[in-house]
Amino acid sequence: MIISGDDPVSKGARRFEVFTGAGKRRDWPDAVKASILAECWPGGERVTAVARRHGLDTSQIYTWRKELVRRCKDQGAPVPAALEQQGPAFVPVIIAPEASPEPVPDAGRSRRRRRSGPAPIELEIGGALVRIGSGADADTITAVITALRASR
Protein backbone atom coordinates (compact mmCIF):
# COMPACT_ATOMS: atom_id res chain seq x y z
CA MET A 1 0.00 0.00 0.00
CA ILE A 2 1.37 3.38 -0.97
CA ILE A 3 0.39 6.39 1.08
CA SER A 4 0.06 9.57 -0.95
CA GLY A 5 3.06 11.80 -0.46
CA ASP A 6 5.34 8.82 0.30
CA ASP A 7 5.50 7.63 -3.28
CA PRO A 8 9.09 8.14 -4.52
CA VAL A 9 7.84 8.35 -8.12
CA SER A 10 5.64 11.35 -7.40
CA LYS A 11 8.53 13.21 -5.77
CA GLY A 12 10.92 12.46 -8.61
CA ALA A 13 14.39 10.99 -8.42
CA ARG A 14 16.77 13.43 -6.83
CA ARG A 15 20.04 11.51 -7.03
CA PHE A 16 21.13 7.99 -7.68
CA GLU A 17 24.47 6.30 -8.15
CA VAL A 18 25.34 3.42 -10.41
CA PHE A 19 28.05 1.18 -9.02
CA THR A 20 30.08 -0.70 -11.57
CA GLY A 21 32.55 -3.44 -10.93
CA ALA A 22 32.73 -6.04 -8.20
CA GLY A 23 32.07 -3.55 -5.42
CA LYS A 24 35.08 -4.63 -3.42
CA ARG A 25 37.76 -2.51 -1.86
CA ARG A 26 40.34 -1.28 -4.29
CA ASP A 27 43.90 -2.35 -3.67
CA TRP A 28 46.25 0.45 -4.64
CA PRO A 29 49.82 -0.56 -5.45
CA ASP A 30 52.54 1.33 -3.58
CA ALA A 31 53.76 2.97 -6.79
CA VAL A 32 50.29 4.39 -7.51
CA LYS A 33 49.92 5.59 -3.92
CA ALA A 34 53.29 7.31 -4.18
CA SER A 35 52.35 9.06 -7.43
CA ILE A 36 49.03 10.26 -5.94
CA LEU A 37 50.82 11.53 -2.82
CA ALA A 38 53.37 13.31 -5.02
CA GLU A 39 50.56 15.16 -6.82
CA CYS A 40 49.29 16.67 -3.60
CA TRP A 41 52.61 17.08 -1.84
CA PRO A 42 52.56 20.12 0.46
CA GLY A 43 52.95 23.14 -1.78
CA GLY A 44 51.48 21.27 -4.76
CA GLU A 45 47.91 20.69 -5.81
CA ARG A 46 45.09 20.65 -3.25
CA VAL A 47 44.28 17.29 -1.68
CA THR A 48 40.57 17.64 -2.46
CA ALA A 49 41.25 18.12 -6.19
CA VAL A 50 43.58 15.12 -6.38
CA ALA A 51 41.17 12.93 -4.39
CA ARG A 52 38.25 13.89 -6.62
CA ARG A 53 40.24 13.16 -9.78
CA HIS A 54 41.20 9.66 -8.57
CA GLY A 55 37.83 8.82 -7.03
CA LEU A 56 39.19 8.87 -3.48
CA ASP A 57 38.11 10.41 -0.23
CA THR A 58 40.44 13.07 1.15
CA SER A 59 40.80 11.11 4.38
CA GLN A 60 42.30 8.22 2.37
CA ILE A 61 45.13 10.42 1.13
CA TYR A 62 45.82 11.71 4.64
CA THR A 63 45.88 8.10 5.88
CA TRP A 64 48.42 7.22 3.18
CA ARG A 65 50.56 10.14 4.30
CA LYS A 66 50.51 8.91 7.90
CA GLU A 67 51.44 5.40 6.70
CA LEU A 68 54.36 6.85 4.72
CA VAL A 69 55.67 8.67 7.80
CA ARG A 70 55.28 5.52 9.92
CA ARG A 71 57.11 3.37 7.33
CA CYS A 72 59.94 5.88 7.11
CA LYS A 73 60.36 5.85 10.89
CA ASP A 74 60.17 2.04 11.08
CA GLN A 75 62.83 1.61 8.40
CA GLY A 76 65.06 4.33 9.81
CA ALA A 77 64.68 6.45 6.68
CA PRO A 78 64.44 10.21 7.01
CA VAL A 79 60.87 11.52 7.19
CA PRO A 80 60.14 14.18 4.58
CA ALA A 81 60.21 17.55 6.35
CA ALA A 82 56.90 18.60 4.77
CA LEU A 83 55.16 15.61 6.39
CA GLU A 84 56.85 15.74 9.77
CA GLN A 85 54.32 16.72 12.42
CA GLN A 86 55.52 19.60 14.47
CA GLY A 87 54.48 20.17 18.04
CA PRO A 88 52.72 23.28 19.20
CA ALA A 89 54.73 26.44 18.81
CA PHE A 90 54.45 29.82 20.46
CA VAL A 91 54.39 33.09 18.61
CA PRO A 92 56.61 35.79 20.09
CA VAL A 93 54.65 38.58 21.73
CA ILE A 94 55.73 42.20 21.75
CA ILE A 95 54.11 44.43 24.31
CA ALA A 96 53.95 48.01 23.11
CA PRO A 97 53.86 50.88 25.57
CA GLU A 98 50.32 51.82 26.39
CA ALA A 99 49.06 55.02 24.82
CA SER A 100 47.08 57.50 26.87
CA PRO A 101 43.64 56.05 27.41
CA GLU A 102 40.74 57.71 25.69
CA PRO A 103 38.04 59.13 27.92
CA VAL A 104 35.27 56.67 28.67
CA PRO A 105 31.78 58.04 28.01
CA ASP A 106 29.62 58.44 31.09
CA ALA A 107 27.12 55.58 31.27
CA GLY A 108 24.53 57.84 32.92
CA ARG A 109 24.32 60.18 29.94
CA SER A 110 21.75 59.79 27.23
CA ARG A 111 22.94 57.95 24.13
CA ARG A 112 21.19 60.37 21.77
CA ARG A 113 23.20 61.69 18.91
CA ARG A 114 24.38 65.25 19.29
CA ARG A 115 24.22 67.67 16.43
CA SER A 116 27.31 69.63 15.60
CA GLY A 117 25.57 73.01 15.23
CA PRO A 118 22.30 74.68 16.10
CA ALA A 119 19.15 72.92 14.92
CA PRO A 120 17.74 74.01 11.54
CA ILE A 121 14.42 75.79 11.26
CA GLU A 122 11.43 73.59 10.44
CA LEU A 123 8.24 75.10 9.05
CA GLU A 124 5.02 73.31 8.28
CA ILE A 125 2.75 75.38 6.13
CA GLY A 126 -0.18 73.93 4.21
CA GLY A 127 0.88 70.32 4.84
CA ALA A 128 4.40 70.92 3.51
CA LEU A 129 7.39 70.52 5.79
CA VAL A 130 10.34 72.76 4.99
CA ARG A 131 13.67 72.60 6.78
CA ILE A 132 15.88 75.63 6.54
CA GLY A 133 19.52 75.26 7.48
CA SER A 134 21.06 77.48 10.11
CA GLY A 135 23.32 79.13 7.55
CA ALA A 136 20.46 80.50 5.40
CA ASP A 137 20.18 84.28 5.16
CA ALA A 138 17.04 86.21 6.09
CA ASP A 139 16.09 87.00 2.45
CA THR A 140 16.04 83.27 1.56
CA ILE A 141 13.89 82.41 4.57
CA THR A 142 11.45 85.23 3.72
CA ALA A 143 11.22 84.06 0.11
CA VAL A 144 10.48 80.44 1.14
CA ILE A 145 7.76 81.47 3.60
CA THR A 146 6.17 83.83 1.05
CA ALA A 147 6.18 81.08 -1.61
CA LEU A 148 4.54 78.57 0.75
CA ARG A 149 1.81 81.02 1.78
CA ALA A 150 1.09 81.88 -1.82
CA SER A 151 0.70 78.20 -2.77
CA ARG A 152 -2.08 77.58 -0.18
SS3 per-residue string spanning 18-49: CCCCCCCCCCCCHHHHHHHHHHCCCCCCCHHH
The full set of domain ranges for the chain reads: 26-85, 121-150
pLDDT range class, residue 23, cuts 50, 70, 90? low
What is d(CA 66, CA 72) in angstroms, rounded to the nearest whole number? Answer: 10
What pLDDT is recorded for position 49? 92
What pLDDT is recorded for position 50? 92
pLDDT tens-place string over residues 47-85: 999 999 988 899 999 999 888 888 888 888 887 766 666
